[in-house]
Amino acid sequence: MNSKLERMKELILTLDKAAKAYYQDAEEIISNFEYDKLYDELVELEKETNIVMAGSPTVSVGYEVLSELPKENHAYPMLSLDKTKEVAALADWLGEKEGILSWKLDGLTIVLTYQNGELVKAVTRGNGVTGEVITNNAKTFKNLPLRISYKGELVLRGEAVIKYSDFEAINQEIDLIDAKYKNPRNLCSGSVRQLNSEITAKRNVHFFAFALVQADGVDFKNSREEQRKWLASMGFEVVEGKMVQKETIEQTVLWFSKQIEQNDFPSDGLVLIFDDISYGQSLGRTAKFPKDSIAFKWADEIKETKLTEVEWSASRTGLINPVAIFEPVELEGTTVSRASLHNISIVENLELGIGDTITVYKANMIIPQIAENLTKSGNLPIPEHCPVCEHETVIKNENGVKALYCINKECLAKKVKSLTLFVSRDAMNIEGLSEATLEKLINIGIIKEIADIYKLNEHKDMIVTMEGFGEKSFQNMMDSIEKSRKTNVVKFLYSLGIPNIGLSNAKLICKEFGYEFEKIRHAKAEQLIEIQGVGEVIAKFFEAYFEKEENNRIVDDLLKEIHLEEMKENKEEQSLEGLTFVITGSVHQFANRNEVKAVIEEKGGKVTGSVTSKTNYLINNDIESNSSKNKKAKELGVPIITEQEFIDML
């Protein structure tokens, strides 16, 4: 008995700590799988012993809502939902009644209040008793009606979610200093619980209504389905749901399961509610659950496998993410061999070691996760050095979640953008190395410095197995890298990403120093200021860049890999000197308009964006076109020439 009590106390502590991280910070320090398992164990023990400790998560919430947002108590407590993983249990629960089965959306639950047809309040679920007031943020949700035709007091609940597609896009763009968000739920929580609603507005948050709490004077004919229809008629997007009876429930669950993969919004199961409102309400509630509805969680397909490696991948925020690599297994129809471990707390809780036998599943049928570690050897070392720059790492503990960081400001992982510039068209022009690919190669330590781009051949075996890569795209990339070795000093200088040195400044500077790189790199600020078009700020940045030993090392390493073709000012070549061109419409012989521009500039000409009296030629293959540029050219008497005529001119 005593050992059971001890275990119960231990479970309560662990669950409380996890729930705090999960609800306050949208972080996971143990997997949902583990959380649910420990929770079920606690429920079992409470049944066996007939004891429920004060503060047990089975009857109450053990955490406060902590944030700088204003707080408010809910008029109706926001309960959790009882759960089952069995379809048969759903059918039994429904009995002879009709129900509505809908997605259990995985975002942030919000209660909205409308008065006089206007949205007056939005509050998060918080801990179910107290929530945070986020009214101004809610007003930026993409599909939320701000005014409705019903003038009484309306209270409804729904889920704020961020779609997978938006999650990917937003995560790419989020400020470097902002930590990367791990999943749409995490991003949604971070976006909705903002002090500044401008940020929320940029995050494309959608709202799906799932329950009507109050709308006096409207006759819903005692039907939840009628309420859903009414909400839709008010302009709300209502979560997708289907009417079911015990005979049809199995095929409806199957329908939902098939639908998941196409779903752009995250869900973590289904919810079944009685259509008969008064019947449902007559059932009352337990301390934690209403009795008129029940959640269905997917019975995850779980496979046993062996942990072969943990990959530590540094990110542009400095965060180093652990990823488990295991012997491939088939899960829900696809082969899986990797799963994010999220943070150090998860690694520690799982007591991982290489060679351990682990069980894996796909959370919500989509994201691979480790469920349990069966052998718990706990011998996995946490890296003391960054996989990218080898600087010492630190473990930061933020609100009970431990995470590993590289704190080196110069770490290449933090400089993905500069590499993106290096490979861009106007710089070294390397095709097939997207920002995402570069980031990945950096994060797993294949690219540790820029010059490593020229050594990718050595990592062919690894790269061809990467998502989106195959033999062919690898070869194309290699060809492009080889081609880029031959370049000129202007492109090279621009590719270094020296602050404020764009392509045109690079040209001016190179020209001034006779296109000789050795002279260019030793240029002094006072010499640079003399160049027309180069200001003091640019000059200082330029000088400072080449005063740094580390930068010179980077440059020297690159010079070993590339060849700078001679560039001389050749008067004959400058055949377009003094001429100004405008290019419009599509081109056929050049790859694109930028290439035409490059040729013009190479030959001393200039390209501008709009036709003025100073324009010498408008290049346009569609001479008859009525575009504004054509009209303007005709007006001003500027000759319009085709691409072919331009080539002839050369």
Ligand X SMILES: NC(=O)c1ccc[n+]([C@@H]2O[C@H](COP(=O)([O-])OP(=O)(O)OC[C@H]3O[C@@H](n4cnc5c(N)ncnc54)[C@H](O)[C@@H]3O)[C@@H](O)[C@H]2O)c1
Binding site for Zn ion (CB under 5 A): 386, 388-389, 391, 406, 408, 411
Distance, in Å, from the CA atom of 147 to the CA atom of 644, rounded to the nearest integer, reads 58
Say whether residue 105 binds ligand X (CB under 6 A).
Answer: yes
Ramachandran assignment for 556, one of left (phi > 0), alpha (psi -120 to 50 degrees), beta (any other): alpha
Contact track, ligand X, 59-98, x by CB under 6 A:
-------------------x-xx-----------------
Residue 441 among known ligand-binding residues = no
Say whether residue 28 binds ligand X (CB under 6 A).
Answer: yes
Q: Which does 97 bind (CB under 5 to 8 A by kind): Zn ion, ligand X, none?
A: none
Ramachandran assignment for 117, one of left (phi > 0), alpha (psi -120 to 50 degrees), beta (any other): left
Contact between residue 575 and residue 603 where contact means Cβ atoms under 8 Å apart: yes
Task: Candidates 25, 159, 300, 643: give the one binding ligand X (CB under 6 A).
Answer: 159
Q: How many CA atoms lie within 13 A of 118 on its CB side?
A: 4
Q: Regarding beta strands 486-488 and 563-565, do their DSSP bridges make them parallel or antiparallel, or are they unpaired? A: parallel
The CA R_g of the chain, rounded to the nearest whole Å, is 31
Report, in Å, the least distance between residue 149 CB and ligand X: 24
Measured from the CB atom, the residue of 343 and 620 that comes closer to ligand X is 343
Measured from the CB atom, the residue of 271 and 314 that comes closer to Zn ion is 314
Measured from the CB atom, the residue of 134 and 489 that comes closer to ligand X is 134
If one counts every other C-beta atom within 10 angstroms of the C-beta of residue 290, the result is 21
Report, in Å, the least distance between residue 422 CB and Zn ion: 18
Residue 203 among known ligand-binding residues = no
Q: Which does 358 bind (CB under 5 to 8 A by kind): ligand X, Zn ion, none?
A: none
Q: Which does 402 bind (CB under 5 to 8 A by kind): Zn ion, ligand X, none?
A: none
Measured from the CB atom, the residue of 28 and 643 that comes closer to ligand X is 28
Q: Which does 453 bind (CB under 5 to 8 A by kind): ligand X, Zn ion, none?
A: none
Say whether residue 372 binds ligand X (CB under 6 A).
Answer: no
Report, in Å, the least distance between residue 402 CB and ligand X: 14
SS3 track for 246-306: CCCHHHHHHHHHHHHHHCCCCEEEEEEEECEHHHHHHCCECCCCECCEEEECCCCCCEEEE
Q: Which does 388 bind (CB under 5 to 8 A by kind): ligand X, Zn ion, none?
A: Zn ion
Task: Candidates 277, 295, 412, 430: give the one binding ligand X (CB under 6 A).
Answer: 295
Task: Candidates 8, 26, 30, 365: give the one binding ligand X (CB under 6 A).
Answer: 30
Distance, in Å, from the CA atom of 380 to the CA atom of 348, rounded to the nearest integer, reads 9
Distance, in Å, from the CA atom of 356 to the CA atom of 306, rounded to the nearest integer, reads 6
Q: Regarding beta strands 83-84 and 617-619, do their DSSP bridges make them parallel or antiparallel, or are they unpaired? A: unpaired
Task: Candidates 14, 24, 32, 305: give the one binding ligand X (CB under 6 A).
Answer: 32
Residue 491 among known ligand-binding residues = no
Report, in Å, the least distance between residue 624 CB and ligand X: 58
Q: Which helix (H) or strand (E) holds 209?
A: strand 206-215
Residue 168 among known ligand-binding residues = no
Measured from the CB atom, the residue of 256 and 312 that comes closer to Zn ion is 312
Measured from the CB atom, the residue of 80 and 171 that comes closer to ligand X is 80
Report, in Å, the least distance between residue 414 CB and Zn ion: 8
Distance, in Å, from the CA atom of 121 to the CA atom of 131, rounded to the nearest integer, reads 12
Contact track, ligand X, 255-284, x by CB under 6 A:
----------------x-------------
DSSP code, position 641 = E
Say whether residue 347 binds ligand X (CB under 6 A).
Answer: no
Residue 159 among known ligand-binding residues = yes
| Helices and strands, counts by H and E, the chain | 24, 24
Q: Which does 491 bind (CB under 5 to 8 A by kind): ligand X, Zn ion, none?
A: none
Distance, in Å, from the CA atom of 73 to the CA atom of 78, rounded to the nearest integer, reads 10
SS3 track for 493-562: HHHCCCCCCCHHHHHHHHHHCCCCHHHHHCCCHHHHHCCCCCCHHHHHHHHHHHHCHHHHHHHHHHHHHC
Residue 540 among known ligand-binding residues = no
Q: Which does 630 bind (CB under 5 to 8 A by kind): Zn ion, ligand X, none?
A: none
Q: Would you call 104 a catalytic residue per the annotation?
A: yes
How many residues can be counted in the chain?
Answer: 650
Task: Candidates 14, 56, 102, 437: give the one binding ligand X (CB under 6 A).
Answer: 102
Q: Token digits for 117?
A: 């047809």
Measured from the CB atom, the residue of 18 and 534 that comes closer to ligand X is 18
Task: Candidates 12, 42, 46, 104: give the one binding ligand X (CB under 6 A).
Answer: 104
What residues are paired with 613 via a beta bridge? none
Distance, in Å, from the CA atom of 617 to the CA atom of 417, rounded to the nearest integer, reads 36
Contact between residue 383 and residue 404 where contact means Cβ atoms under 8 Å apart: yes
Q: How many CA atoms lie within 13 A of 513 on its CB side?
A: 20
Q: Which does 35 bind (CB under 5 to 8 A by kind): ligand X, Zn ion, none?
A: ligand X
**104, 303, 415, 507: which is the annotated catalytic residue?**
104
Report, in Å, the least distance between residue 428 CB and ligand X: 44
Distance, in Å, from the CA atom of 442 to the CA atom of 589, rounded to the nearest integer, reads 37
Q: Which helix (H) or strand (E) holds 46?
A: helix 32-49
Measured from the CB atom, the residue of 21 and 386 that comes closer to Zn ion is 386
Say whether residue 18 binds ligand X (CB under 6 A).
Answer: yes
Q: Which range, of 21-29, 147-155, 457-465, 559-567, touches ligand X by CB under 6 A?
A: 21-29
Contact between residue 554 and residue 449 where contact means Cβ atoms under 8 Å apart: yes
Residue 188 among known ligand-binding residues = no
Distance, in Å, from the CA atom of 61 to the CA atom of 311, rounded to the nearest integer, reads 36
Task: Candidates 14, 58, 109, 191: give the one binding ligand X (CB under 6 A).
Answer: 109
Taken in order 527, 528, 531, 536, the sign of the CA dihedral is: negative
Say whether residue 239 binds ligand X (CB under 6 A).
Answer: yes
CA end-to-end span of the chain, whole Å?
Answer: 94
Measured from the CB atom, the residue of 80 and 424 that comes closer to ligand X is 80
Which residues are known to be catalytic? 104
Site residues for ligand X per CB under 6 A: 18-19, 22, 28-32, 35-36, 78, 80-81, 102-105, 109, 125, 159, 210-211, 239, 271, 295
Residues placed in the known binding site for Zn(2+): 386, 389, 406, 411
